[in-house]
A and B are shown apart, each in its own frame.
Chain A
Amino acid sequence: MRPGLNKLQTGWHALQRDRRSVVITWLALGLILACLPFLTELSLGRSWVRILDFTLLYIMLALGLNIVVGYAGLLDLGYIAFYAVGAYLYALLASPQFGLHWPVWAILPLGALVAGVFGVLLGAPTLKLRGDYLAIVTLGFGEIVRIFLNNLNTPYNITNGPQGISQIDPIQIGGIDLHQTQHLLTLTIPSTHLYYYLFLIFTLLIIFVSIRLQDSRIGRAWIAIREDEVAASAMGINTRNIKLLAFAMGASFGGISGGLFAGFQGFISPESFTLFESIIVLCMIVLGGMGNIAGVILGAILLTIFPEALRYLGEWQQLLLGRVWVDPNDLRLLIFGLALVLSMIFHPAGLLPSTRRARELHARRSILAQEQDSLYEQQR
């Protein structure tokens, strides 16, 4: 796996040197992304287009969490709360719950904003906390948000409690109802495909923002804080504001993704925003390679698609062994867990580590090796 990846990376770098092939590669990539839902439906069926849609939502979530954990180094175990805030905001403003039917272009920016405010609310009291103390406080924050959503049906019915909110308006853009099959010339575009294109646009937008942030002053300030907070503040970085900005930015990505989720599903309930979801998103970025956008995307893709692919375990058993030995549903999560463990053991810095991280890891290993050598010398 490792040499393969390296080869791919060197291939990629060689490619980037060649202008023409760069253009060709991007065109090919664009073409593939554009045709992907149709190819997927033809080969695997429409349920996989739905899985693609969810993959894009998770990519957005993972990129948001990457800002907090990957760039700024703040371990956040309650990230799904922002996804929930975005989703509930959409559901409350566009459903029969309050009889409101706001348009999507008004709700999504508002969702990003409100989620960002929640991000600051979480960040403000926790500025002094580090590492695992921060982890438990953010975890608590995520649970607090979920519990409020689950219980705010009394004394005033705001969220409809555990029953969730149903009949949420589908997303409409310029008079096009994304929930209806659309016809373009001779092409029939089903709803799942329409949502795919919408989510793809948002994902690309978020990737773009992530790249720009990474190379900006703010991005460098985040990395400085991650590496050494004291030194960073000595260099004149306002660590408080910069940290809060990380929480707010990360949260707003989650808010947008949540709003899209609510419109896509048409129904939301607090069950979708459990701690386990926060943990899975964290797994995505660590598994893929924290701080590296390509890695985070890869992690999100793998962890969304892999559990779904494992549903075919029964059919594979049938094919290879002649009969179904173990109920595939009983094996699915077991294999998922094993894959997490093995992947981290063989790629501790993630599948596609950020170049900076890879360098650090390498450096740290060699320092350790030196220390050990010198210890042995002393012992002698």
Chain B
Amino acid sequence: MSTPVLRVEDLHRSYGRGPTRFEALKGVDVEVRAGESLAIVGKSGSGKSTLMHLLALLDRPTSGSVELNGVPADRLRGRELNRVRNETFGFVFQQFFLTPSATVLENVILPLKIAGVGRAERKRRGMAVLEQLDLADKAKNRAIDLSGGQKQRVVIARALVNDPQVIFADEPTGNLDTTTGAAVEDLLFGLNRERGITLVVVTHDEELASRCDRRITVRDGRIEASATAATTASGTGTTAEPGRPAEEVAA
């Protein structure tokens, strides 16, 4: 079997020190394989977001190792780490984090701008990705003038523009109604299938989680269960509330 894209071993992450010390992760092992779609589910405060941040190299573990394509991530420092994150990952957040006054195109090419890609090349790649997502006619519109579903599609375009290996989606449909949410899901899974982009979805939406190849459930800083789609499809114990508005990001 090939090297997993991401592998974490015995991952601990704690915040604060002394009596206020809080352990968000208490020894987690996860492998993310190339081309799969993985759902990280868990309740608010379970540590699932912390796990995602560690996988996305946004945070450093208190102890344990994170490997990206077989290379220990703690070897990456500063500039190198920024470059790797820029080139390897795409992010889709529950909040859109679009610059409201900037145009759709400007929002989409932000990762390329950060990477230092030239102006003409930026525009070409930005337009190409907007074309794919049927947003080309909106390129010159201001981001604030779009509907929720369009905004999330712009966010996906932004995550896609630098041709990433992995897309991290943190509650990607949390702010969308059911129909729009389903369309965005289709889009994400389509990318996963057709372009082989590894998808890591953090959610507590059962329906979304069940569409992933594999899911891991995080509870109190530990992985409670790991299952493949086949086994989870039938039996569900947790309560799912589709279309529920955002009530948490803190974890």
* A and B associate: no
